[in-house]
Structure 1
Amino acid sequence: MKRVTEQESKYKDIDKMSVIEVLKGINEEDKLVPLAVEKALPQIEKLATAVAERMKNGGRLFYIGAGTSGRLGVVDASECPPTFGVPFDWVVGIIAGGDSAIRKAVEFAEDDEKQAWIDLQEYDINEKDSLVGLAASGTTPYVVGGLEEARKHGVLTGCIICNEGGPVVAVSDYPVEVVVGPEFLTGSTRMKSGTAQKLVLNMLSTTVMIQLGRVKGNKMVDMQLTNHKLVDRGTHMVMEELNIGEEQAAELLSKYGSVRKAVEASR
């Protein structure tokens, strides 16, 4: 297949450019990313709606990917518990090569099309769950194989890629294709493609959590209070909701452990 992510950069002799020329070139390419994401909004809507329905019925959300894509999935999954107060195993990110690959690339890990399903067995993935494959190229064997096997077992499948069509789309119930074009640095998909995937992941997990009732108004009422900044933020949320002073709000927050519980207990 023709992979846009591998096409040659339109910028020539990058190594001869001045620093500001390099920066301007990267910035010009980055401007294209949100426009490409906007075109994919109908696809993102379908995926987010379907995933939320599964999760309302006890399902979980899994991400699989290799390299930059895998790391982005791990980041998004790891941020859901502190942001939305959900159990750590509601959203799970798995990277080809295991957790050590988050920091150091594992050679040829992405080329094993059977390993993703093996990795998923550790979590007893089942037909209630959803699996989203992350692959800029849309061809990564680790991701293709994982989605294909998951689909056979009744798992809802989706993908976030930066090409049109391809093997990953063929095994996805809900594909999201964000075509951002050739990279500034030829083939460096950690750049525009990675940015696009991060934007879509932000949209997906946030929209799903809103559908699951994990947001009230525009506030993260279930966030984990893991540092002074978040405690202070939570205190001011309670003050605003109950129209009370800071000291009283802080006491309630300390007693009940979350904004939601503090507010509900005081009404």
Structure 2
Amino acid sequence: MMPEIITSAQNPTIKTIRALDQKKHRQETGLFVAEGVRALERARTGGISPDMVISVTGPQDWGQTRDIRVSEAVMARLSAQNNPSGLIGVFKQSALLSPFNAGADIVLALEDIRDPGNLGTIIRTADAVGVRHVVLVGDTCDPFSPETVRATMGSLFGITLARLPTARFAAALDEWQGEIVATAADADLDFRRAYQRPTLLLMGSEGSGLSSGLAAKANVAVRIPMPGQAESLNVATASALLLYEIRRAELK
């Protein structure tokens, strides 16, 4: 496709892309922005094509994707980075969304995670350990916000996401055929154990943890020993420990 040349930040297309910084516009359009070569290459590897690619230098081999070339000044207005990478993709959110996959081998469910950096870090860890399905439950923050997308370092394109209200997800857990794992400070089981497949890991919000309704659905409660003075671990750190332990046998 022949490239479009845009040199003005007042161009309607540029204004539309800039507006995707705001949740309202992401919800209205169903689009989101990913920036940088790493993110776009992960999308390509996953077979996910952007609606448009915006670059300074070009050319980019993106097939029939809308190819937009901009000046460095316009790219600076579009970029969320201090040092713009010179490459931005606009994607459909629907390319990464799917129904809750109750047949998956391992599922990570996140309830009411409010911090975009934590959410992005957890998604990156899930991708690293080979967990391909993540369920966002309740008031978990927007996975397509610039902060979350940036924190995933491209791993957003390596997983599928489901989004469910807490009550609907709790009802869906009644059909889960394997272990449902949650952490609890007073649990008898150490988290360093053999997990049975399929495994669904429940992780709760940074402040209050899992809601009582979801915690009651767990059939395996584990604790992470903390011999120091800290009262709790960051949810991204705790998620990483549990995910790697769940996959430990396969990672040897």
The two structures have a TM-score, normalised by structure 2, of: 0.32
Higher strand share: 2
Higher helix share: 1
Relative contact order higher in (CA < 8 Å, ≥ 6 apart): 1
The two structures have a TM-score, normalised by structure 1, of: 0.30
